[in-house]
Amino acid sequence: MAEGTCEHLSRYKFALQYAKGRSVLDAGCGSGYGAHFLKLEGASMVYGIDISARAIGYARQNFLAEGLDFECTDLTKTLNLKDRYFDVIISFEIIEHIKDTAAYLSNLARLLKGDGYCIFSTPNRDINSPGWSIPHNSYHVKEYNASEFQDLLNGYFSTSVLFGQYPSRRIIDLRKRKLGLRKMAYDGKLAHIYQSIAPILPNRLRRNLVDVAGAIYLMFKKPSSAGLGEKLDFSDFLFIEDDFKDAEHLLAICRI
Q: What is the DSSP letter of 15?
A: H
pLDDT tens digits, one per residue of 236-249:
999 999 999 999 99
Are 229 and 155 contacting, i.e. CB atoms less than 8 angstroms apart? no
By mean pLDDT, which of 84-98, 99-113, 166-180, 234-248 is the weakest? 166-180
The answer to whether residue 217 scores a pLDDT higher than 60 is no
The better pLDDT of the pair 233, 191 is held by 233
Neighbouring residues of 107: CB distance < 8 A, sequence distance ≥ 6: 75, 76, 78, 79
What residue ranges do the domains of the chain occupy?
A: 3-167+233-255, 169-226
The answer to whether residue 48 scores a pLDDT higher than 60 is yes
Percent of the chain with pLDDT over 90: 69
* CA–CA gap between residue 65 and residue 172 (Å, rounded): 36
Q: How many residues does the chain have?
A: 256
The answer to whether residue 53 scores a pLDDT higher than 80 is yes
Average pLDDT, the chain: 87
**Which residue in 45, 111, 48, 118 sits closest to 78, CA to CA?**
111
Select 3-167+233-255's CATH number: 3.40.50.300, 3.40.50.1220, 3.10.560.10, 3.40.50.150.
Answer: 3.40.50.150
> Taking the model in full, what pTM does it have?
0.81
The better pLDDT of the pair 224, 190 is held by 190
